[in-house]
Amino acid sequence: MVACFGSVAQAKADQATLDVLMRVQTASQNINYHGTLVFLQNGQVQSMRVVHKADETGRFERLINLNGVAREVVRKDDLVICYMPDSKEVMVSRQKFTGNVLTQLAENDFAQLQKNYQLGLESMERVAGREARRILIQPKDNLRYGYRLWVDDEKSILLKSDLLNERNELLEQAMFADIAVVDRIPEYLLQPTSTGEGFTWYEREPDNNVLMVQDSDWKIALLPRGFTVSSRFRHQMLGSNVLSEHWVLSDGLANISIYFEKLADGEDVFEGISPMGVVNAFGILTAQHQITVIGEVPARTVEQLARSVVFTPGAEE
């Protein structure tokens, strides 16, 4: 009986946490705000000005680097314009709207995450001068990272995020130092600092050589629990004359890429682990192919995946 009451209480706690996270998703799609976002990684601090507008006309975001290399990115739905004053260049491209690091996190399917992560409400704290509810998203194994989130209690905006390693230690952090939630974004905040006059404009063409993979000679003998292959395609790697396969795996929160690249005789091989901040990469040589697994996951996860890749030419799906 005690166990029964305990499971009911846990279910209610999980649902309460899920309700808060679902409100975060709604807020990211219809609330206007502007503020200063601070990003901490590897002891380095990056800050940027963020202007976010979302209404019936679409989604807009303007990001301005406040330290380091001068950059300004303006996004209007799928149109992305990046201004680079140092080189007097402008890059124009089309890509799926991803927003800043906090809006990206808010767009996950939190209900699905419960299969691999434990969700829990924690204490109330203040972030950027606003009351925020702290939430812990803790992995149920050591194959993925966890998160601690701070959600604005009034507007449900994600104000702060900590990425945590397997020992619950901080790997990186993103947080608003200040934020203003408004009914309407002033017109002057929507305009880029530079007009681009006198700059060289480039338009990044979509990669028409990308081909979706239906049948592959590659298999993964052991997928990490909770991860599925979300896409498989072929494209030409930089500096290569042949098409390589690229698989994307996801558990709904963490994403992993696997690259299968045919090596020419005498070509260098990347083998072993290579940490790059919060991202880990593992390389291995299999059937004269360079297998590289990269993801924002623990080192053991990318190594497990790389060693689980099997070359099975002619095998049926």
For the stretch 174-188, pLDDT in tens is 999 999 999 999 889
Q: Which residue has the higher pLDDT, 122 or 204?
A: 122
d(CA 142, CA 145): 8
The arrangement of secondary structure in 211-311, i.e. its CATH architecture, is 2-Layer Sandwich (3.30)
Name the helix (H) or strand (E) containing 31.
none
In this prediction the pTM is 0.84
Instruction: Give per-residue burial for 210-236: e unless 16+ CB within 10 Å, then b.
Output: eeebeebebebeeebebbeeeebbbee
Q: pLDDT band for position 55 (50/70/90)?
A: confident
pLDDT at residue 279, as a whole number: 93
Report the pLDDT value the prediction gives residue 208, as an integer from 0 to 100.
Answer: 54
Tell me the domain boundaries of the chain. 2-203, 211-311
Residues in the chain: 317
What pLDDT shows up at residue 244? 85
| Distances 95 to 26, 75, 79, 153, 271 between C-alpha atoms, Å | 22, 9, 7, 32, 32
**What percent of the chain is predicted at pLDDT more than 90?**
51
- 223 contacts: CB under 8 Å, gap ≥ 6: 229, 249, 305, 308
> What's at 31, amino acid-wise?
I
Can you list the alpha helix ranges (DSSP code H) found in 31-135? 101-106, 110-113
Pair of tokens at residue 252: 């709904």
Provide the CB-side half-sphere exposure for 139 (13 A, CA). 23
Kindly tell me the sign of the dihedral angle through the C-alpha atoms of 285, 286, 292, 293.
negative
Q: pLDDT tens digits for 250-298?
A: 988 889 999 999 988 888 899 999 998 899 999 999 999 999 999 999 9
Q: What CATH architecture is 2-203?
A: Clam (2.50)
pLDDT tens figures, 195-246: 888 899 998 766 555 667 778 889 999 999 889 998 898 876 665 667 789 9
- Asked if residue 306 lies in contact with residue 291, where contact means CB atoms within 8 angstroms, the answer is yes
- What SS3 state is found at 246? strand
Overall average pLDDT of the 109-134 stretch: 88
Tokens found for residue 231? 């896409």
- Of 46, 71, 47, 73, nearest to 60 by C-alpha is 73
pLDDT tens across 10-27, in order? 667 678 888 888 888 788
Chain-centroid distance, C-alpha 245 = 21
Q: What's the whole-number average pLDDT of the chain? A: 86
